[in-house]
Structure formats: C-alpha cells, structure tokens
Amino acid sequence: MRSTKQYVNLSHNKVENHLKTLQNEFEETVTPTDTVTYKLRQFFWSNFFGFVYHYFKSRFGKRYPYQSYPKDGDSGVYQIPENTTLALLSDWATDTVESDLVGRLAARYNTDYTLHLGDVYFVGAPKEIRANFLNPDASWPWGKNGSLALSGNHEMYSNGRGYFEELLPRMGVDQAGVRVSQKAGFFCLENAHWRIIGLDTGYTSVRNPIMEILNPPDCRLKDVQIQWLKEQVKLGDPNDQRGIIFLSHHPVFSVFRNAFPKPGEQLRKILGNGDRPVAWIYGHEHRMVIYHTQNLPNSLTVHGRCIGHGGMPVELKAPETHDPIYFMDDRIRERLRRKNVSYNGFAYLEIKRPQSLMKYIDMEDTMIFQESWRVENGAVIVEQADAT
C-alpha cells in the first residue's frame, strides 16, 4: 500500500516517475528501525545505477511491439447484452487507500463489465500491475462478464511491457461462454443500439526524449488502429445508426490542460462528418468534469466527460474558462501537502436498449451527477443531466 501524499504534485516528468517507483521498491526492503543514513546509503547503492540503467533503457529503448486485430481469430469486436452494466475507472491504479476504496466500492455494484481507462502508477511496471490488478489483495473490481484496459501515458513510461505482457493476458470478456483475452490496446463492445469503442492514445503519447523535442507526441491513432476501425469495426458504414461512446485515456477536449484533438480529427475522416454527436469519456486529468456539447473544429460533435478522478489525488485547479463546463466536482475533501483535494470516484453506465444512464459515484458512494442518453439516427442525445 502506498501513501497518497507521494502522488500530490506528481508531474509527467519521466525521471520523477521512475524514481518514485524505485523509491517504493526500496522502502519495501528496509525495516523501520534502520537509520536514515543507512537507508540513504542503501538507496543510493542499491538503486542509483539500477535507476540510470532502467531509465535510459525505457526512455531510449524500443516500445513494446504494437498489437492489433485480427489476432488468433479475434477481431477485437465483442457482443454485449442489450441490457448491461459497466463500471468505468480511470487513472485509478495508484495502490492507495483511496484506490482501494473506489475499487472495492465499484465491485459492490457488481457490473457485467469493468473498464480501466489507463494510467498505472508510476510507470506501469510489472510489479505495479500486479499490486493493483493481479495480486490476491489487489482491489481491481473484476466484471462478471469481463474487464478490459486501455493504456495511458504512465504504462508507456516503461515502454508498455507490464501492460502488454502482464495486464492484457488477464483482461478479457466472455463471448458465447468462452473467455477471450484482450490482445491489443483497443476494443469495441457492441449490441444492437450502442458501440463502446476503447481507443489507444497511450502508445503514441510518449516518444524518446530527442523525438519528443523535435516532434511532440500527439496521441494519434496509429495506422493499424485506423485500419481496424475501418475493416473490423466498420466505423464508416453510413447505414450503421448505433450510438457511439468513445473511451480514451487522453482528453479530446479540456479547459484545464492541453487537450489532444488529433484522434478526433482522424475519427471524423472515418465517420464522414462531425454532425453526429458522440459521447467521449476520458481521463488523464485527475478530476471529474461534464462538458457542454462541443462542436470541435475539423473533428466531431462531442459530449465530453472527464473521469480521471479514479485514484490519484484530485488537486483542485481553476479552469481557463468556465463556459464549456456543465458540471464539475470541486468539493474540497481534505488538505494534502497544502493543496485542496477533492473526491475520487468512478462512473456507472447502465445500458437499456436505446437508452443509457450514466451515474457518477464518489468514493463515499454518493451519486453526485447523473444523466441519460438516447440514440436517435446514430446521434447520441443527452436527454437529461442533473447534479444530485
């Protein structure tokens, strides 16, 4: 179990994230009676060269090979019941008291599917994957019919090895009574009315340090993912009038930090026009925000929902502008390292034929916001949205 305090003020600096992973490993090896000098000396000698080696290997080394469908007869498109429930957690895997609370609370909702929208802290190392998801005392809420995971940027800080080798083989969904393991960083869950499409924006969110200066990562969907969307998902089929819910780690729209518009622009090219509103649920930013519907330039018309408040401290920060915000959870829960911190939580999605109900549940099991959507000629319409 980790202390929540070490996550306050955490930057996207890869050095800091690698150091924190090593610091945690080290702290597990010393006993409370060791002196500070001894601990420091041990930390330096046991970790310094290891850190330098692992940091350079992961920052300049090759990313884990990109995975795609079809693979072993699996198209990555899975059928789900007409009436079904899902729990959506993002930026959750911190192995803290808070992530345990949220994980165990989501488990009590006993949903058919549970989805993680990415970021296993600090660097998605195999040990961190096991602590959050796989160990007997891990608190990931496994869905009755399966669980799937997207990659965030933190999984890619260690080149994705932990994510692809440790996590994905344990993720998967039941199809006709058989458990199918997750084979790539993206997927589609669908029934007669809805398509829930998980996009991989994590893999392209990190490059080696020189490339990041020359050509900053834009979280674009790689060509093979575009090909999958066209050929397996058949996303561009004009006769397909199902409602689309995109999931990604990175935000397509934000008024707090940099958004990543590229995937929206790529999807518009496949979908043909931007007039068919879609729901888009994302994390990366550690807060819970409901945006007004946005007609994004050269992109899609999006009902944007940020649910990155799964497990990281929700450090309150003023937006650049309030205009696009319909609702945000800015209640102060506690002061942590002189920062105001709000509530963690998750989203509960209930699909009932052409209707969908989204409930935003905080760590104390209070529903702070709910909304209902319906599908009409391929468009996702927000019928009702209320803070409770």
For residues 109 and 300, the answer to whether their CB atoms sit within 8 Å is no
Using CB under 5 A as the binding rule, whether residue 151 contacts Fe ion is answered as no
C-beta closer to Fe ion: residue 145 or 153: 153
Among 74, 100, 112, 119, binds Fe ion (CB under 5 A): 119
Shortest Cβ 293–Fe ion spacing (Å): 24
Task: Report the nearest approach of Fe ion to the CB of residue 151 (Å).
Answer: 10
Return the range that interacts with Fe ion (CB under 5 A); candidates 115-123, 139-147, 234-242, 262-270: 115-123
CA 89 to centroid of chain Cα atoms: 7
Distance CA 383, CA 158 (A): 42
73-81, 111-119, 164-172, 211-219 -> range binding Fe ion (CB under 5 A) = 111-119
User: Two tokens at 160?
Assistant: 């994705």
Site for Fe ion in 18-77 (CB under 5 A): none
Of residues 262, 268, 284, 286, which one binds Fe ion by CB under 5 A?
284
285 binds Fe ion (CB under 5 A): no
CB under 5 A: which stretch of 67-75, 117-125, 136-144, 327-335 binds Fe ion? 117-125
In the three-class reduction of DSSP (H, G, I as helix; E, B as strand; rest coil), residue 147 is classed as strand
- Measured from the CB atom, the residue of 114 and 153 that comes closer to Fe ion is 153
Taking the C-alpha atoms of residue 339 and residue 299, their distance in angstroms, rounded to an integer, is: 36
Q: Which residues of 255-279 are buried (b: 16+ CB within 10 A; e: fewer)?
A: bbeebbbbbbbbbbeebeebebbbb
Specify the stretch interacting with Fe ion by CB under 5 A; choose among 34-42, 45-53, 148-156, 213-221.
148-156
- The site that binds Fe ion (CB under 5 A) totals a number of residues, namely 4
Q: How far is the CB of 284 from Fe ion (least distance, A)?
A: 4
Nearer to Fe ion, 164 or 194 (CB): 164
Q: Is 309 in the site for Fe ion (CB under 5 A)?
A: no
Contact (Cβ atoms closer than 8 angstroms) between residue 178 and residue 227: no
Among the residue ranges 52-60, 103-111, 151-159, 210-218, the one whose residues contact Fe ion (CB under 5 A)? 151-159
The DSSP code for 292 is P
Provide the minimum distance between the beta carbon of 327 and Fe ion in the complex, in angstroms, as a whole number.
22
Which residue in 76, 103, 141, 152 binds Fe ion (CB under 5 A)?
A: 152
Which residue reads 């960083």 in tokens? 185
Residue 286 interacts with Fe ion (CB under 5 A): yes or no: no
Query: 8 or 357: whose CB is closer to Fe ion?
Result: 8
Q: Are 134 and 93 in contact (CB under 8 A)?
A: no
- Token representation of residue 258: 């940099």
224 within 8 A of 66, measured Cβ to Cβ = yes
Write phi, then psi, for 369 (nearest 5 degrees).
Answer: -160, 145
The distance of closest approach from Cβ of residue 73 to Fe ion in the complex, given in angstroms and rounded to an integer, is 32
- CA-to-CA distance for 302 and 259, rounded, in angstroms? 13
| 200 lines the binding site for Fe ion (CB under 5 A) | no
Q: Does 158 bind Fe ion (CB under 5 A)?
A: no
DSSP 97-108: HHHHHHHHHHHH
Nearer to Fe ion, 64 or 373 (CB): 64
Q: Quick one: which of 96, 132, 153, 248 contacts Fe ion (CB under 5 A)? A: 153
Place of tokens 């994957």: 129
Token pair 């490993």 is found at: 25
CB-facing half-sphere around the CA of 57: CA atoms within 13 A: 11
Chain contacts with Fe ion (rule: CB under 5 A): 119, 152-153, 284
